[in-house]
Structure 1
């Protein structure tokens, strides 16, 4: 290899204190010239020389920012050497070295994944430093584009899953408002162990459910989806009340992976005239009732234990009078388990009642009401709520 003296000094990477390169060159003379050129153009560069592909593969590490590969090595030739380097260091920039008569090989190398190629006879210090810098930046740009494409694919898949797994209410009554919010507690998760659903049956009754599988993770999310689907199927088949809950309890005990797994649940059957409802609670937080008199929790009794805890238990119904203008809000405990300030005090039902009363007095309704409550709970908590969270608000008349 012949070399032309460098015509200037260029920083290889402005932000880096030391650039680490791996030079794969079996000719000691050529390797020495490359090191001299690089040291002249950039004295802070750290160069490791490997004379064989095997030695190069053993020397690769995440600290190496660029690999310069001669495609004529004793243990690998041509694009085979390049492919092995690319497979071993998929996130590292790669430059290939070719001769004057092999420029077509350089073009093929770029098509195979290298960032650029250099003709040995034309290399000087400035050209070499620029080529390395551009190769590293081009690799970073390629990685950023790849991550963006992957994020878009994940986003599309998440949207598809969301359409398939989160419920679309079966609700034909135009006089009812239906607003819901759902937030899984895990980062980047689509679903948590909470679930909800709404189904209007042929007799005009509107059935509503919300549930919370204990624990956090993909298994809990999967179980929540199965329980919701089982609930919807049972409602559409004509089941309701205790009969439905006993069947759902049986489904849970057969589907869960541990006897310690339980599920809290609250269920309503709103009468066809919309002036009354029956409620069943299985260890679940008390819903809120909004009407012209303000906000109050539904009665605490009667109620039963969470599903999966005590076989053969009963879940008695509570009768509710709703009137003409009302809203029922059911939620999971992720909404009320956030802290208040720096101590250990939780928001709990009393705190939620205060927030809901203030929002209702301001005239907040529907989705605006739910979003405001979540924001206030997060503000009091000092950070986003970490537990799975689901809220469903069904409203009628002036409370819509």
Structure 2
């Protein structure tokens, strides 16, 4: 019966006995696709031959310059990509078992070898090696994914708020599956004077580069706010950072910032090419008038952004969001929700409920970020 070794391959035979080597070569000639055999007689001759071209190694454990499992360990170290079969004598079968435990795919007793057994053992060894390598890649991918998730979690913001006069809620849904961060970013910082500063932004595009840029923008905004900067000076600094860090000149960023006065009765906003914030003030739902303040960052080097003064009243809620919310189709509809649809939806609910808003819009491939701040004026 013809041996069923059907894949052409390059095989390294490590055997110091001429008779045993001749036997292996003759048996493999009967395979459907006889392999190219490179024959070496010692561990010293083996080392320079263990290149990426070698797909399978047959190694005798009794070599003139190696004893026991020494030759096997060296082969496994130098050729982790290759399938390895160990050749043993009848009295050394127990050594073959130890060799498999050490990393070989299989072992063969020389006295039992025939063409069919040898071809099948090589084929099965190569399949097991492929499975082992696939499993190793899977484990490595899982470890990398866990490390990336830990890194991303560490880059998510923690609001800097004091006291209980202001409540904040956020939702963040990256468009790319399997990630925690997208190009959207948000943050909240209360400065020593008691003012509440919030930001939400959207780096155009999707992917890890945009996510990294979004993190850089958020951290820069937080640093500038804590250093006492605000207004156009802050925006021009962010614009300079964006131009320095972006991968291509066409990448821009929209954002919305708000500074709420310490008495929680008034807000100063700048809407930088971004969707207008939603405001619930004394039970009335509307969008902030006078938006936008000016163009997105990264487009015009001499841009200016006007201030939007917003009286807040006694009891209020402000929701900042990215366009992933209003460009998503509302559940059961093909058309995007839009700003008007968002206002209508909030009016139907009677209040801003972030989870309900997300539930009522359809799935989206875009990043989606929501930031809701509630407060009562002093």
For 1:74-93, list aligned pairs within 5 A.
78-79=71-72, 82-83=75-76, 86-87=79-80, 90=81, 93=83
Deviations 1:66-104 (A, max 9, x none): x46244899x994388438843xx3x6543333336557
What 5-or-longer segments of structure 2 have no aligned partner?
Answer: 16-20, 40-47
Residue in structure 1 matching 2:362, options 377, 387, 396: 377
CA distance in 1 between counterparts of 2:95 and 2:370 reads 62
CA contact 2:169–2:372 (8 Å) conserved in 1: yes
CA contact 1:21–1:68 (8 Å) conserved in 2: no
CA contact 2:28–2:34 (8 Å) conserved in 1: no
Deviations 1:118-164 (A, max 9, x none): 22224579987996787577556645653453244224322431243
Calculate the TM-score normalised by the size of structure 2: 0.74
1:51 counterpart residue number: 37
Aligned pairs, number: 354
Residue in structure 1 matching 2:366, options 387, 390, 394: 387
Residues 1:30 and 2:19 are matched in the alignment? no
CA contact 1:282–1:315 (8 Å) conserved in 2: yes
Cα distance change of structure 1 residues 320 and 159 upon mapping to structure 2, 3 Å threshold: same
1:98 counterpart residue number: 88
CA distance in 2 between counterparts of 1:291 and 1:141 reads 62
- State the Cα distance separating 1:170 from its structure 2 match: 0.4
2:45 counterpart residue number: none
CA distance in 2 between counterparts of 1:354 and 1:120 reads 82
CA contact 1:347–1:377 (8 Å) conserved in 2: no
Deviations 1:373-394 (A, max 9, x none): 5xx231xxxxxx2223322122
CA distance in 1 between counterparts of 2:128 and 2:371 reads 49
Residues 1:289 and 2:279 are matched in the alignment? yes
Calculate the TM-score normalised by the size of structure 1: 0.71
What 5-or-longer segments of structure 1 have no aligned partner?
Answer: 1-5, 7-11, 13-17, 40-45, 62-66, 379-384
1:269 counterpart residue number: 259
- State the Cα distance separating 1:19 from its structure 2 match: 7.2
Residue in structure 2 matching 1:168, options 130, 138, 158: 158
Cα distance change of structure 1 residues 210 and 107 upon mapping to structure 2, 3 Å threshold: same
Aligned-pair RMSD on alpha carbons? 4.2
Deviations 1:343-398 (A, max 9, x none): 9854332343344444x34x6735x235425xx231xxxxxx2223322122247x
CA distance in 2 between counterparts of 1:175 and 1:153 reads 42
Residue in structure 1 matching 2:58, options 57, 69, 75: 69
2:189 counterpart residue number: 199
CA contact 2:50–2:75 (8 Å) conserved in 1: no
1:365 counterpart residue number: 353
SS at match of 1:377: coil
